[in-house]
Amino acid sequence: MNSPMDRREFLKAGAVAGAGLAVAGSGFGQTASAEDRPVRVGLIGPGRRGSGLLGLLLSLKGVQVPAVCDVDPAQAKAAQDMVERAGQPRPEGYTGDELAYRKLLAREDLDAVVIATPWEWHAPMAVESMKAGKYTAVEVPCAITMEQCWELVNTHEATGVPCMMLENWSFRQDNLAVLNMIRQGLFGEIVHCHCAHSHNCIDHWYWDQQGNPRWPAKYLETYNRDQYPMHSLGPVLSWMDIPCGDMFDYATATATASRGINAHFARLLGPDHPRAKKEYPQGDIVTTVVRTHKGRTIVINNDMQLPRPYDNRWLIQGTLGLYDEVRESVYIHGKSPKVNTWEPFKPYQEKYDHAWYRQFRKEAASASHAGTDYLELALFVQAVRNRTQTPIDVYESVLMSVIIPLSEQSIARGSAPVKCPDFTRGKWKTRKPTFAVEA
């Protein structure tokens, strides 16, 4: 275990992968890890997001970072300096062209790879990482086309190598407490969910504050779809046992007209500026409705280019009651003090707090995104160290991302229903939940 696991080990240990589903469960409290075992991680893409992940990796006991890669030599050097300041040997830096990452993947001293590059590179890099025998953690979205979703699944099944999308909202303390409540039957049988990613990103994600395009701007200039459904769907999959007992059947999507981008540039650069007059295909708000094979529904809102505060608007509803994130409230038939009256969620969160947060509360307290980034990386490293499945597996990863191409197809067809592929090839019918299962 003190030497990296090579590809042959994966192919032996993951023989079941060829039958459809790879490495067995990822439940909490599995095989205890020896904390002194080193886990060697390579990082591809130490930019704004990647450097934050690097800082958290360096804070984890036993994690070593022997290699970093970025097309920008300055970013690669900054990452090398960061590792050295953390008291580790200066890592090898790979840079110079877009394929430099392949030299990092060819190293034999890496157990895992973390990918935090622009979206179009996520799936190709993750595929090559799995083929190289490295545990793979890839930032959101893990794929942006249907073909990429299948490439990730097929590569995982062929190699047995785990691949996890780093969807941090799956690890929020409140969302994990709601998951515990659902699993203990407080809301009865779940029938419906609403979720959203409402976040004005025009002046920092897509363009900078002077109106210059960043790399994601090209997606708004090229497509009309839900560009970013992962934060919406992260907790929803586990709440609704997808793909572990239920599965997406089909989706319909509708987009509003595109007005927000033009209005933004008219305010910023003047109404006669070319960017204020340009036609953008991306609608301001995209609403996707998914129906599952069991007849349940999920409403997914994407709202990222109009002025507004941040909001997720999670709501999960069952035959005995519901949870509403916006109200920070629940109503449970037969348990809530007043009939058909909301009661505060906080006491329930304290009562049903998940074991992951009890384990990592102190370390996660000061980490980014309310501790979720620390928690997801700590659990990913734990899986690498123990040679178990990652907390989020490849099937859950692609199902969060597949809404991107599904919504695009539905919008282009006048909001017609579009069938969702069964990436598990029927295994969802008998598959048991593994995410955040407490011992």
Q: pLDDT digits over 38-93, tens only?
A: 999 999 999 999 999 999 999 999 999 999 999 999 999 999 999 999 999 999 99
Domain of 73 in residue numbering reads as 7-168
Same domain for 73 and 160, yes or no, is: yes
End of a domain among 138, 168, 198? Answer: 168
Half-sphere exposure of 224 (CA within 13 A, CB side): 21
Same domain for 259 and 114, yes or no, is: no
Same domain for 183 and 318, yes or no, is: yes
Same domain for 179 and 160, yes or no, is: no
- Residue 305 has phi, psi (to 5 degrees) of -140, 20
End of a domain among 147, 168, 189? Answer: 168
Residue 35: predicted pLDDT? 62
Which residue shows structure tokens 């996890």?
Answer: 164
| 234 located within any domain | yes
Q: Band the pLDDT of 401: cuts 50, 70, 90.
A: very high
Q: Band the pLDDT of 3: cuts 50, 70, 90.
A: very low
C-beta of residue 101 within 8 angstroms of C-beta of residue 125: yes
Residue 99: predicted pLDDT? 98
Same domain for 160 and 256, yes or no, is: no
Residue 14: predicted pLDDT? 45
What DSSP assignment string belongs to 112-125?
EEEE-S-HHHHHHH
Residue 389: predicted pLDDT? 97
Question: What sign results for the dihedral spanned by CA atoms 41, 42, 44, 48?
Answer: positive
- CA distance linking residue 391 with residue 383, whole number of Å: 8
Q: In this structure, what CATH number is given to the domain that contains residue 58? A: 3.40.50.720
Same domain for 104 and 190, yes or no, is: no
| 204 located within any domain | yes
Residue 329 DSSP label:
E
Q: Band the pLDDT of 32: cuts 50, 70, 90.
A: very low
- CA distance linking residue 80 with residue 289, whole number of Å: 45
Looking at the chain, the whole-number percentage of residues with pLDDT higher than 70 is 92
| 396 located within any domain | yes
Q: In this structure, what CATH number is given to the domain that contains residue 340? A: 3.30.360.10
Same domain for 191 and 146, yes or no, is: no
311-353 per-position pLDDT tens digit: 999 999 999 999 999 999 999 999 999 999 999 999 999 999 9
Across the chain, mean pLDDT equals: 93
- CA distance linking residue 430 with residue 189, whole number of Å: 18
Residue 19: predicted pLDDT? 36
The pLDDT of 380-405, averaged and rounded, is 98
| 126 located within any domain | yes
C-beta of residue 150 within 8 angstroms of C-beta of residue 421: yes
End of a domain among 111, 145, 168? Answer: 168
Same domain for 100 and 77, yes or no, is: yes
Same domain for 320 and 258, yes or no, is: yes
| 199 located within any domain | yes
What is the total count of domains within the chain? 2
| 2 located within any domain | no
Q: DSSP 3-state helix, strand, coil percentages of the chain (rounded to 5)?
A: 40, 20, 45
The distance from CA 286 to its chain's CA centroid, rounded to whole angstroms, is 19
Same domain for 182 and 89, yes or no, is: no
Same domain for 178 and 149, yes or no, is: no
| 112 located within any domain | yes
Same domain for 146 and 207, yes or no, is: no
Q: Band the pLDDT of 359: cuts 50, 70, 90.
A: confident
| 1 located within any domain | no
411-431 per-position pLDDT tens digit: 999 999 999 999 999 999 999
Residue 36: predicted pLDDT? 67
C-beta of residue 312 within 8 angstroms of C-beta of residue 322: no
177-215 per-position pLDDT tens digit: 999 999 999 999 999 999 999 999 999 999 999 999 999
